[in-house]
Every structure is written in structure tokens, then in C-alpha cells.
Amino acid sequence: MAKLVLSSFAELEAYVGKELGTSEPHEITQAQIDKFAEATLDHQWIHTDPARAAKESPFGTTIAHGYLTLSMAPYLLAQILELKNIKMGINYGMEKLRFMDPVKVGSKLKLRAELIELKDLRGTARMTLKLSFEVEGAPKPAAVGEVIYLYQFG
């Protein structure tokens, strides 16, 4: 699916209640997991010790941190939606976040985005997207949540 490129509140408004698209798959590697562990100081063995995870983890291998999965949103969302003519954009928060299935090392993660709400707050657009982080071949999403962004169009 081609990336959606929009330049105004009115153009964005036409997509309320619609799926915006799906990103390309991104393979989650052990190196990426290890770098995330270093950055966050979260070295729990289910993420960083492949030998132990193979023996002791119910998943049979290491898994990505839930917050690593979530942190992929900007990169994957940029493949789905590009907003032009933006003076400023802010990540305002997330609601209804659930981690529903592990993301095993070597998994191919992709993002599906739906615009569920758009409000004009005196010239600032408040956009709420439902994000579904999906693993290729998995029966259910790894994580689902509603992310809220604030944008000011130029």
C-alpha cells in the first residue's frame, strides 16, 4: 500500500474512521533487542540471554521488550502516513495499551493504523490513531493501543 501524504486538517479529516494502511515488515533482531536493553537498562534474561531463554522461557527464545515493540511506532507509522505543512507535532500519549502476544527474536513486525478521532483544538489538530502491532504469521496482534498526537499545520 502506498504511503498516505496529507497537507491539511481538511485532508486528514476525510480519513476519520478509516484504516490508513499497513507498514512494511521489520525484522526484530537480537542486536536490536540488546541495544534497547542497554538504552533502558532492562537486561531481563528473557530479552538478552538466548541460551537461557531457549531452555527456560515458555517462548523458546528471547523476546523483544514490550516497550521496544511500542517504540517502533514512529518508524513504522512514517511508512503509512506523512503529514506535510506541519509547524509542530507532539506525541501526547497513549490509551488502552495492551501487550497481547510476545514478539520473538527474528519476528517480522508490522504496524496497522486507523484514524479513529480527529479534533480541532483552536488550530491544533488532536489525532487519535488505533495502532496494531502485528507479527507476520501470528494469530493475534502483539500489541494494540490508541496513540494521540497533536499537530499544528502551517
pLDDT tier, 154 (very low <50, low <70, confident <90, very high otherwise) = confident
pLDDT one-digit tens code per residue, 110-134: 999 999 999 999 989 999 999 999 9
Contact indicator for 120, 9 with CB cutoff of 8 Å: yes
pLDDT tier, 39 (very low <50, low <70, confident <90, very high otherwise) = very high
- Report yes or no on whether pTM surpasses 0.85: yes
The pLDDT assigned to 33 comes to 98
Mean pLDDT across 53-73: 97
pLDDT surpasses 80 at 78: yes
Cα dist from 88 to 20, 91, 124, 152, 154, whole Å: 21, 10, 9, 5, 9
Mean pLDDT across 91-104: 96
Domain residues of the chain, as ranges?
Answer: 4-153
- Reference 9, options 91, 123, 113, 89; nearest CA is 123
The grid coordinates listed for 65 are: 521488550
DSSP string, 91-108: EEEEEEEEE-S--BTT-E
pLDDT surpasses 80 at 143: yes
The pLDDT assigned to 119 comes to 97
Distance CA(43)–CA(127), nearest Å, equals: 34
Contact indicator for 75, 58 with CB cutoff of 8 Å: no
CATH superfamily to which 4-153 belongs: Hotdog Thioesterase (3.10.129.10)
Residue 18 identity (one-letter amino acid) = K
The pLDDT assigned to 1 comes to 67
